[in-house]
Every structure is written in structure tokens, then in C-alpha cells.
Amino acid sequence: MSTPLELSGWRHLYSGKVRDLYAPEDPADKRLLVVASDRVSAFDFALEPPIPHKGALLTGLSRWWFDRLAEGADPIANHLVDGDVPAEVADRAMLARSLEMLPIECVVRGYLTGSGWLEYQQSGTVCGIPLPDGLENGDRLPEPLFTPAYKAPMGEHDENITFERTTEIVGAERAAELRDLSLAIYRRAAAVAEERGLILADTKFEFGVDADGVLRLADEVLTSDSSRYWDAESWRTGSTPSERMASFDKQIVRDWLSAHWDKQGTPPVLPEDVVTETAARYAELLGRLTA
Ligand code: ATP
Ligand code: MG
């Protein structure tokens, strides 16, 4: 992994697969600088090479969604705070409150695909939730499902868990709050996407709690890294799974990796055309959503 940037006034805290976190040099200042890099990961593995401009596209999308979700009758509290970010990372950094993160990836699925489709073929369930017979890859689910995952510590892989297990980790009340809020945000975002000819097939949220005990939406939100977006027209008219799920996310990366790698050891380097195509899809999504 590349060495994190030196940013004057900021101290590097941590680097995840995609983001680098910095704290102010002044310990009394409880803000956090979240810098999205161009790094790409799939199946929880960090990959090479980076995708040009991805950090800026992710940050632009997250900001746009945080703002949309903070509007209206049911504003969703988020982790953003006002203030200046260092000029050298201005297009890919967010200033946030440093939160106590909950170790749950709040996944919502409106459509059947990915790991949900694999499980369904074996057992007729998704994360243990029974589904009707006869569903195909890419089909819309009877209703959106909350399918949480346990956010594994660095170096380990996230693990799908039941709602029951979620209640053991964060308590029954918090688990219900996470589920209800995640489903509500998914429905709101899916409606916005639909107006723009896009299907929000699934997504993942992360929440944290601030110093006053307020639950806030954190990390990145509704980006092409954390979500699957499909073209609604292709989904309606397509006759093969890949036509139906013409996507604006890193499915291209996942598909290429699945075809060229058995997920053991170091992943292969992504070829130039996969990198270029992924960059183009990310840019197109931002354009279509925010135009
Ligand atoms: P890992 O934590 O396993 O490295 P990751 O690869 O998904 O996960 P990134 O998304 O690259 O990590 O890094 C972002 C990290 O910052 C995540 O661990 C996320 O939970 C954390 N994070 C995001 N927003 C906040 C916040 N407001 N306060 C504290 N931590 C945050
Ligand atoms: Mg992450």
C-alpha cells in the first residue's frame, strides 16, 4: 500500500483499504479528516492499480447524498462538519466528527444478486431469510431486506450475520434502530435513483455514535463502492444477467477478478481496459445522479 500523504496540521491515524484517516495535530480538536484514495478493493482485497479520479468521484457522490438525506421531513444526521480541508486533497476529503463506529455493516438489498444470489441458489434464503422459489439473478426482492455483516478488524474478512447476532453485538434497541434507519434510507435513495433511470440494487451503510450519544450516518454513503447501481432501462429489457445488470459500480472489477483468480493469495493486477472502464462507469454515475 502506498505511503499516506503528509498533510500539514494533520496526523495520519489509519489507512483502510480505500480511505486514509487523519486527526488534527491539536488533540483538543475532535474532528477527523477522511481522505478517499483512488485505491480499489473487491471481495475485501486491496487491488492494483488505482482507478484514476475514483477518490474524488466517491467523495463527490457521498457529499451529494449526505446533503440530499439531510433535507426534508426526516433529516438523517451525518458525520460531516464544516471547515477547511487541506488544498492538496480538497476534491477527495471530507471533514467529519470522530465517531464511535458500530462494528456492523448495514447492508440493504432490494434485488437478488452477488453473495445473496449465491446463498439463494444453495438454500433458498438470503442471510438466513427465506425467499420465494423461482427467483433469478437480478430479480427484485418482494421487499428490501436488511442483511447485516459484522465489520471484521483490519486484515480479516467481513462476515454476514443474522439480525439475532446483531442484537447480541450492539443490543436489541440499537439493532432495531440500525435496521429501520437503513431500510428507510435505502427506500429514499432508491426513489431518487429511480427518477434518474437508475436502480439502486443494494447498498451498505456504516453508522457511529457521537459524544452526545446521537447516531450518525458515517463513512461513505451510496457510492459506487458501497452500492450496486444498474441502468433501469437495461434491467427491464435485457435478456441475459449481464445485460440486465448493466452497472455503474465495481462489478466490472469483481467479474474480471472472478474469471481470473481463485481468491487465494495475492490478487492479479487489473488490466488497463478494466481500469479505464471502471473509471468511466464511476464518472457516469456521478453525472447521471447529480446532473
Ligand atoms: P477497514 O476499517 O477494515 O480498513 P475499510 O477497508 O472499509 O475497512 P476504509 O473504508 O478504507 O476502510 O476506511 C474508512 C474507515 O474509517 C473505516 O474503518 C470506517 O469505519 C471509518 N470511519 C468512517 N467515518 C468515520 C467517522 N466519522 N469516525 C470514525 N471512523 C470513521
Ligand atoms: Mg469502508
Rounded average pLDDT over 123-129: 93
pLDDT above 70 (res 2): no
pLDDT for the residue 239: 92
* Residue to mutate, 1, 14, 21, ligand 1, most ligand atoms under 8 Å from C-beta: 21
- Can you identify the CATH homologous superfamily of domain 10-97? Phosphorylase Kinase; domain 1 (3.30.200.20)
Give me the residue spans of the domains in the chain: 10-97, 100-248
Q: Which atom of ligand 1 is nearest to the CA of 216?
A: 27
Return the CATH architecture of domain 100-248: 2-Layer Sandwich (3.30)
What is the per-residue pLDDT for 152?
Answer: 82
Residue 51: name the closest of 285, 291, 283 by CA. Answer: 283
Give the whole-angstrom CA distance, residue 76 versus residue 127: 26
Question: What is the model's pLDDT at position 158?
Answer: 85
- Of ligand 1's listed atoms, the one at least distance from the Cα of 21 is 16
Q: Can you give the pLDDT at residue 249? A: 87
Q: Is 205 helix (H, G, I), strand (E, B) or coil?
A: strand
Q: Is 16 in the pocket of ligand 1 (CB under 6 A)?
A: yes
Length of the chain: 291
**102 has a pLDDT exceeding 60:** yes
The sign of the CA dihedral 127, 128, 132, 135 is positive
Q: Give percent of the chain above pLDDT 90.
A: 90
Map residue 145 onto helix, strand or coil: strand
Query: What is the structure's pLDDT at 182?
Result: 98
Looking at residues 216-237, what average pLDDT do you find?
97
Q: Is the CB of 19 under 6 A from ligand 1?
A: yes
Question: Does residue 185 line the site of ligand 1, with CB under 6 A?
Answer: no
Note the ligand closest to the C-alpha atom of 44: 1
pLDDT at 1: 56
Summarised one tens digit per residue, pLDDT across range 28-86 is: 998 999 999 999 999 889 999 999 999 999 999 999 999 999 999 999 999 999 999 99
Tally: H helices and E strands in the chain:
8, 16
* pLDDT for res 184: 98
Q: Which three cell numbers stand for residue 3?
A: 505511503
pLDDT reading at 116 higher than 90? yes
Parallel/antiparallel/unpaired status of strands 140-146 and 104-111: antiparallel
Point out which residues pair with 101 in neighbouring strands: 208
Topology agreement, domain 10-97 and domain 100-248: no
pLDDT (tens digit per residue) in 131-143: 999 999 999 999 9
> Is the per-residue pLDDT at 170 higher than 60?
yes
Query: What pLDDT digit, counting tens, does each position of 75-85 carry?
Result: 999 999 999 99
Task: Give the pLDDT score at 44.
Answer: 83
Atom of ligand 1 nearest to the CA of 152: 3
